[in-house]
Structure 1
Amino acid sequence: MSLHPRRRLRGAAVLAAGVVVGLALAACSSSGGSSGGSTSAGGAAGGSAALDAALSKGGELTYWTWTPSAKAQVAAFEQAYPNVKVNLVDTGGAGDNNTKLQNAIKAGSGAPDVVQVEYQSLLQFVLPKDLVDLTKYGFGDLKSKYSASTWGAVTGANGIWGLPQDSGPMALFYNKTVFDKYGLTVPKTWDDYIAEAKKLHAADPTKFFVNDTGDAGMTTSLIWQAGGRPFKSDGEKVSINLQDPGSKKFADMWNQLNEGGLLGNIPGWSDQWFKALGDGTIATLVTGGWMPGVFEASVPAGKGQWRVAPMPTFGSDTATAENGGSTEVVVKQSKNPELAAAFLRWLNSDPASVKVFLASGGFPATTADLESADFQGKADDYFGGQQVNKVIVDSSKNVGTGWQYLPWQSYANSIFSDTVGKAFLNKSDINEGLKAWQDQNVTYGKAQGFTVTAG
């Protein structure tokens, strides 16, 4: 994922209290229409030729991001296009980034030209029309460069709003040292996973097969894998059903771990959490394909101990899901949108930029890299020489289709701890927490001007 290993707290994207994501909804186009088409180079705004001309002319841009590769990417871009100056601002993480961006948009000034946004947060800036639709610059012609799931994440509402930076197909990360010591078997299904969790905790109650204090991103990803599609958005019309069959399938499975006291309760992304990954207190982690870079940067004690396996499945169903991932977008406040779009095009499609991104541990969204024998065959010393990329690429081929986030997903995640999180805290039924989360989101969505139906 587009994580900043030093400061990013998963699921902590809390927006300022004054955020109103429903602005201009009446004028918003339906998100049901795909924007996979393209505009020719001679399109309304000059297409890609306008971007090439902007690069030749040059100018100055501001770029907000939290990806660790940004400094090296900007340096490479400025070397290739010396007429362009990019002012890089490290926003530290998605939560701070979103709040700062929303405040600048509301104020009418101070926003960057280009900014990183998580896929799950994109709609909250698209629907109020705060971003530039990149269709007119020929971005539709780039569709074939990206995996289907990530292209789908940046399109909708009859527009193309960014280019995928990375992807997060999910896999099982496990501590081989712990597995060998306690005679554990790498689980293929979630039933296997629960059985091994019981075995480890019975052998050593100080160790946990899995740690989860109630993470919104983890929950929605597992619902996604289980076939749940609880959120459906069509412009200002939104439906929420966190008791659909897939949501219940996830909750009933995860309840066996939660109610059974088998979940570790170390706050995710804390120093204690990283330490627990390094000393074997936490034995597995099911998360996105961006995690190897985080392990290498933040869990040095785990080097040589961890391995990667396919994500456990619900029975014979081979479906996987995504967890995390980001795009870059052009903000409407930009005084030079052509130059901003040209920089964005280079940033997430030029092989020189993608190469820098991969070198910093990023997991690609570009099909050329996902299919590359060199990428898939790379032996990773941290993971005992394992070819971890191949495992994660295989997961990307089975990501379930049709997933949607709420138009206010960042806000939804910010209230997760007050709803579903209570079920984790009390080791009680997660289904009841999901119902409470649904109720609060229905109320919030209606207050923002959406037409929201439940169930």
Structure 2
Amino acid sequence: MITTKRARHLMRGTGLAGALVLAMSACGGSDDGGSDEASSPDAVQAALEEGGEITVWAWEPTLQQVADDFMDAHPNVKVNLVNAGTSADQYTALTNAMEAGDGVPDVAQIEYYALGQYAISDGLTDLSSYGASDLDGTYTPGPWSAVHAGTDGVYGLPMDSGPMAMFYNTTVFDRLGVEVPTTWDEYVQAARDLHEADPDVYIASDTGDAGFTTSMIWQAGGHPFSVDGTEVGVDLADEGSAKFAETWQQLIDEGLVSDIAGWSDEWYQGLGDGTIATLNVGAWMPANFESGVPGASGDWRVAPLPQWEAGGTASAENGGSALTIPAAGAKKDLAYAFVEYANAGDGVATRLSAGAFPATSADLESEEFLNTEFPYFGGQQANRIFAESAANVAEGWDYLPFQVYANSIFNDTVGQAYISGTTLSEGLADWQQRLLDYGRDQGFTISD
């Protein structure tokens, strides 16, 4: 682990790049045993019995009921659940609080792609001594590996996971007489067939998204990022990256993907009226369909992610978060009690009942979970497809220890392929060079 002094050098920068300046106030004290000294399950139990107040920064909606239930079970504990922004917006606020040494929450939701960036700079508490190490085997391999952040420590407990699947509008495919694709080559042809049959229909909407791009490269067998402590390699021209760029470039060149921005009102409208026919995304999406596109209930189904080779089964993760305990937090023992309740205790069932997708192996394998019928998807047992996807996530993926920064410059590099004559391959090369330069500037050892 990098020392605080070393982390300060590594993480100089502005904007989201500053998210790596997390170690400066990580050594703050605690009034419940949450100092730099290792804690223990006994200390956690004692803090829970004593009670107190903690602040949790998270945007995930199922946590509200979890917090309410936790307080009902422990009347002398108060949980202040704060939505400080979603994803990068919260990371900016979290970074600012850490830099100021003031206002740091006791618990913070952090996505897996960003977690390593915080852990490497000593911004998060290693939860091993709190009992987190004993949870080995509780979670599926992808999320459990992610919270280790490439180290021997445990820097959060997984909330959920995002094994990918293809959501498709069966009404549109049936109306236009197009077969549902099972490979990416078939996907490109289906895009042509759909758009030719109805020029208002696009197989997908894509304006350039770092998370989607890296997930696609991951599924294609790519390993563009390699991380060994402070030694970092970037190769966005590897075989998996090239597969994605070549295939997706066809969709861009032929005008077969919509330029509607994801998560916008227009995007939800497109999912609802059938002008966007598929969505390749993580298994956490069903609740968003139900709340954001209620009028399309019954039109959509779920299928395995198309494969790069016929007969393949490979998948990848897209999204997913952990609950972490910032090193500068003041109530670490009590914070861990809540984190464990939410992500390894009774809170898991509460979140699943509200539509969250599990990172816990037992829930993922349970017949109750697998047999759940989704009225929105025509009664389909969609969890069976998600569970199979989770089991087939390709191994060996790494995120950069400055992935938040990497994603922040994606639209300035790879994203240009969607709005100019730049190709995806050229954009990936530009992204790679800027990441190598940035890594060197921050003091990482870079291998070309």
Same fold (TM over 0.5): yes
Deviates more, 1:136-145 or 1:162-171: 136-145
386, 393, 415: which is aligned to 2:380?
386
SS in 1 for 2:352: helix
Aligned equivalent of 1:340: 335
Aligned equivalent of 2:324: 329
Aligned equivalent of 1:414: 408
SS in 2 for 1:122: helix
302, 305, 323: which is aligned to 1:308?
302
Within 1, Cα distance between the matches of 2:14 and 2:277?
Answer: 33
- Structure 2 residue identity aligned to 1:303: S
Q: Deviations over 1:358-402 (max 9, x none)?
A: 122211100111011111111111111111111111111100011
Question: 2:22–2:98: 8 Å Cα contact kept in structure 1?
Answer: no
CA RMSD, 1 decimal: 1.7
Q: Calculate the TM-score normalised by the size of structure 1.
A: 0.90
Judged with a 3 Å threshold, the aligned counterparts in structure 2 of structure 1 residues 17 and 95 are, in CA distance, closer, same or farther, namely: closer
User: Equivalences for 1:375-454 in 2 at 5 Å?
Assistant: 375-426=369-420, 428-454=422-448
Q: CA deviation at 1:46?
A: 5.3
Within 2, Cα distance between the matches of 1:233 and 1:56?
Answer: 41
Judged with a 3 Å threshold, the aligned counterparts in structure 2 of structure 1 residues 23 and 379 are, in CA distance, closer, same or farther, namely: closer
Judged with a 3 Å threshold, the aligned counterparts in structure 2 of structure 1 residues 427 and 320 are, in CA distance, closer, same or farther, namely: farther
User: Equivalences for 1:40-439 in 2 at 5 Å?
Assistant: 45=38, 47-155=40-148, 156-315=150-309, 316-350=311-345, 352-426=346-420, 428-439=422-433
Judged with a 3 Å threshold, the aligned counterparts in structure 2 of structure 1 residues 80 and 18 are, in CA distance, closer, same or farther, namely: same
Q: CA deviation at 1:17?
A: 5.6
- Structure 1 residue identity aligned to 2:317: E
- Structure 2 residue identity aligned to 1:16: G
Within 2, Cα distance between the matches of 1:441 and 1:381?
Answer: 44
Question: 1:125–1:131: 8 Å Cα contact kept in structure 2?
Answer: yes
Within 2, Cα distance between the matches of 1:15 and 1:145?
Answer: 38
Q: CA deviation at 1:453?
A: 2.5
Within 2, Cα distance between the matches of 1:450 and 1:24?
Answer: 16
Q: Deviations over 1:407-442 (max 9, x none)?
A: 111111111111101112236421111001111111
SS in 2 for 1:60: strand
Within 2, Cα distance between the matches of 1:22 and 1:228?
Answer: 29
Within 2, Cα distance between the matches of 1:254 and 1:79?
Answer: 50
Within 1, Cα distance between the matches of 2:232 and 2:50?
Answer: 44
Aligned equivalent of 1:32: none
Within 1, Cα distance between the matches of 2:203 and 2:331?
Answer: 51
Within 1, Cα distance between the matches of 2:426 and 2:68?
Answer: 50
- Structure 2 residue identity aligned to 1:332: A
Within 1, Cα distance between the matches of 2:181 and 2:421?
Answer: 23
Judged with a 3 Å threshold, the aligned counterparts in structure 2 of structure 1 residues 436 and 395 are, in CA distance, closer, same or farther, namely: same
- Structure 2 residue identity aligned to 1:176: T
SS in 1 for 2:266: helix
SS in 2 for 1:342: helix
Q: CA deviation at 1:157?
A: 2.3
Is 1:19 the counterpart of 2:12 in the alignment? no
Judged with a 3 Å threshold, the aligned counterparts in structure 2 of structure 1 residues 159 and 417 are, in CA distance, closer, same or farther, namely: same
Question: 1:243–1:431: 8 Å Cα contact kept in structure 2?
Answer: yes
Within 1, Cα distance between the matches of 2:419 and 2:17?
Answer: 29
Question: 1:22–1:127: 8 Å Cα contact kept in structure 2?
Answer: no
Question: 2:19–2:92: 8 Å Cα contact kept in structure 1?
Answer: no
Question: 2:201–2:274: 8 Å Cα contact kept in structure 1?
Answer: yes
- Structure 2 residue identity aligned to 1:75: D
Within 1, Cα distance between the matches of 2:437 and 2:374?
Answer: 47
SS in 2 for 1:144: coil
Q: Deviations over 1:23-65 (max 9, x none)?
A: 779xxxxxxxxxxxxxxxxxx8453222122111111111000
Question: 1:229–1:404: 8 Å Cα contact kept in structure 2?
Answer: yes
Within 1, Cα distance between the matches of 2:357 and 2:189?
Answer: 31
Q: Calculate the TM-score normalised by the size of structure 2.
A: 0.91
- Structure 1 residue identity aligned to 2:328: Q
Judged with a 3 Å threshold, the aligned counterparts in structure 2 of structure 1 residues 395 and 261 are, in CA distance, closer, same or farther, namely: same
Within 2, Cα distance between the matches of 1:369 and 1:199?
Answer: 39
Within 2, Cα distance between the matches of 1:15 and 1:170?
Answer: 33
Question: 1:15–1:95: 8 Å Cα contact kept in structure 2?
Answer: no
Within 1, Cα distance between the matches of 2:340 and 2:14?
Answer: 28
Q: CA deviation at 1:92?
A: 3.1
SS in 2 for 1:426: coil
Question: 1:15–1:99: 8 Å Cα contact kept in structure 2?
Answer: no
Q: What is the identity percentage for the equivalent residue pairs of Structure 1 and Structure 2?
A: 50
Alignment length (residue pairs): 422
Within 2, Cα distance between the matches of 1:88 and 1:406?
Answer: 29
- Structure 2 residue identity aligned to 1:398: N
Question: 1:61–1:86: 8 Å Cα contact kept in structure 2?
Answer: yes
Question: 1:258–1:427: 8 Å Cα contact kept in structure 2?
Answer: no
Question: 1:175–1:306: 8 Å Cα contact kept in structure 2?
Answer: yes
